[in-house]
Amino acid sequence: MNKISFYDEHKYMFITSNLLIIPTLTGYFLNYKKLVFINSLALIISSKFWHTGNNDIYRKIDLLYQPINVITFLVYGNLYSNNIYAKIIGNIIFFNGLYFFNKSHEEYNKKNRFWFTNHICFHLCMITGNVLAYF
User: Mean pLDDT, to the nearest integer, of 87-104?
Assistant: 98
Tell me the backbone φ, ψ of residue 54, rounded to 5 degrees: -80, 150
Selection from 60, 73, 22, 71 nearest residue 43 by Cα: 22
Length reported for the chain: 135
User: Mean pLDDT, to the nearest integer, of 66-87?
Assistant: 96
pLDDT band at 54 (very low <50, low <70, confident <90, very high): very high
- Report whether 35 contacts 73 (CB < 8 A): yes
- Whether 1 shows a pLDDT value over 80: the answer reads no
Compute the mean pLDDT over every residue in the chain, rounded to the nearest whole number: 96
Query: 3-state class of 110 per DSSP?
Result: coil
Q: Break the chain into its structural domains and give their ranges.
A: 10-133
Sequence-distant (6+) residues with CB within 8 A of 89 are 132
